[in-house]
Amino acid sequence: MSYEFSEFGVNLGCGSGIEELMDDLGHALAGGGSDIKMLGGGQPARIPEMNAVWRRRLEELTEQAGGIDRAMTLYDPPRGNPQFLDAIAALFQRSFGWEIRRENIAITPGGQTAFFFLFNLLAGRMPDGRRKKVLLPLVPEYIGYSDQGVDGCVFRAVPPLIEETGPHEYKYRVDFDHLEVTPDIAAICASRPTNPTGNVLTDDETARLSALAKAHGIPLILDNAYGAPFPGIIFTDAKPFWEPHVILTYSLSKIGLPGTRTGIVIGPPDVIRALGSMSAIVGLSNPSTGQQIMLPLVESGEILRLSSEVVRPFYEEKCKLARQTAMEEFGDDFPWRMHRSEGALFLWFWFPGLPITTKELYTRLKRCGVLIIPGEYFFFGLEQPDWAHRHECIRVSYAMDEAVVRDGLRIIAEEVRACR
């Protein structure tokens, strides 16, 4: 028997790019065996030094009076554990001089949920019947945003400027000349570093986007899932940025705790109160385990040291090795470019003039035991959706073991050559 779904059900329950990504990731990790080259997902690497920290913290929670009880058996308030909220506020106050308090912070069940709440809080159908959208100043942008609107697509995107920065290298930049904030724009949103490309908005670009949002009385949302100051997977100079009209999101996933599903939102108090209300309605409370594991690391500032001295160098070296491998395996016998790697966990490849779409390339690679993400999914919100460039790009994770990444890139090169 089949049932008729609501409009909400059709929009969220009938397939998406992020579902395909997570389904491939889950099946590959659960039962794919050693032959699967899982280069498609956002699964963070298992960093030995960080795993030792998590084991130590679990032991401490077990040994301290009420530690496990606090982490596992009690509901927190909908906005999060007050002690953890105060610790986050104090960390940013003393480290960056930001004038934020507990009232500026909310916890959500992961960063993905934070954006579901934020996008549907600010955009979509308004009480007076108008429809508002979120402006993406730079695409490609994170695949997980694209289908989150309960009222259909809530995005408008601006194609980037493409700057060639070296042999087989390029970089996307914000095209401010064509970035228009119309009355139906509810917010501006960007990830920093950008998933999928590893692009990092410069301090100047970030300040210009902030000024543009402020001038139009709307928030600027910055997704720091990979960003500064934690987990700090940024390989270029980029200062943490906040102003009273800016909404920041952070996560414990990429520092090494994806299973705890802990997102952190910093923003104006009215937005934060709304997020708490939404958390109460949708899930009563938020997961406590990640907050309790991380609490003393936030209170002491250890989270910043671990990010800068352990997490960043680990991924920076993996990125360097993956880029070297790409140069060796791809060579010069077909057209290709790689986005400048400034952060996050991915290499973003562009194959100009590729005779098949990257969805077709994805299918071919999957048959060869290599999982990547086709670029089409990351170019949502464009007024010209048939832009050829969006069918010529793929996202490849370098977070897996070096041998897996090397073999995967070799097979990708072989399949691209075979398409020519």
User: What are the pLDDT digits (tens) for 20-45?
Assistant: 656 665 665 555 555 788 898 788 99
Q: Is the pLDDT of residue 212 over 70?
A: yes
Question: Can you tell me the mean pLDDT for 55-82?
Answer: 87
Q: What is the pLDDT of residues 170-206, one digit of tens each?
A: 999 999 999 999 999 999 999 999 999 999 999 999 9
pLDDT of residue 73: 76
**Residue 4, pLDDT score:** 80
Phi, psi of 339 (to 5 degrees): -65, 140
Residue with the bigger pLDDT between 71 and 253: it is 253
Taking residues 260-269, report their average pLDDT: 97
Three-class SS state of 175: coil
Question: Which residues on adjacent β-strands are paired with residue 150?
Answer: 152
Instruction: Quote the DSSP letter at residue 127.
Output: T
The rounded percent of the chain whose pLDDT value lies above 70 is 95
Task: Name every residue whose Cβ is closer than 8 Å to that of residue 247 and which is 6 or more positions away in sequence.
Answer: 118, 187, 219, 220, 221, 222, 265, 266, 267, 268, 271
Backbone angles phi and psi of 86, in degrees to 5: -65, -40
Name the nearest CA neighbour of 373 among 381, 382, 363: 363
Pairing of strands 373-374, 393-397: antiparallel
- Cα separation, 75 vs 155, in Å, equals 35
Query: 313-326 pLDDT, tens per residue?
Result: 999 999 999 999 99
Query: What contacts 339, CB < 8 A, 6 or more positions away?
Result: 169, 170, 171, 172, 197, 198, 199, 347, 348, 349, 350
pLDDT band at 3 (very low <50, low <70, confident <90, very high): confident
pLDDT in tens, 283-308: 888 989 999 999 999 999 999 999 99
pLDDT at 419: 84
**Fold identical between 7-50+306-419 and 74-303?**
no
Could you tell me which residues come within 8 angstroms of residue 134 by beta carbon, excluding any fewer than 6 positions away?
Answer: 119, 122, 123, 154, 155, 156, 185, 186, 187, 188, 189, 221
Contact 173, 217 (CB under 8 A): no
Q: What pLDDT does residue 72 have?
A: 80
Return the closest-CA partner of residue 393 out of 194, 239, 226, 213.
194
pLDDT of residue 21: 59
The reported pLDDT for the residue numbered 28 is 57
Given a contact cutoff of 8 angstroms between Cβ atoms, the answer to whether 395 and 346 are in contact is yes
In CATH, what is the architecture of 74-303? 3-Layer(aba) Sandwich (3.40)
Query: Is the predicted pLDDT of residue 277 greater than 70, yes or no?
Result: yes
- The residue behind tokens 């992020």 is 18
Could you tell me where the DSSP H helices lie in 220-338?
Answer: 269-283, 289-300, 302-306, 312-330
Report residue 381's pLDDT band, with 50, 70 and 90 as the boundaries: very high
Per-residue model confidence (pLDDT) at position 156:
96
At residue 365, the pLDDT reads 95
Instruction: State residue 29's pLDDT score.
Output: 54
Q: What pLDDT is stored for residue 51 in this prediction? A: 96
pLDDT of residue 70: 76
Could you give phi then psi for residue 401, rounded to 5 degrees?
-60, 150
HSE-CB of 339 using CA atoms within 13 angstroms: 32
| CA–CA distance, 284 with 290 (Å, rounded to integer) | 17
Which CATH architecture fits 7-50+306-419? Alpha-Beta Complex (3.90)
**Would you kindly state where each structural domain of the chain is located, as residue ranges?**
7-50+306-419, 74-303
Element (H or E) spanning 248, and its range? strand 246-251
Whether 379 shows a pLDDT value over 60: the answer reads yes
Average pLDDT, the chain: 92
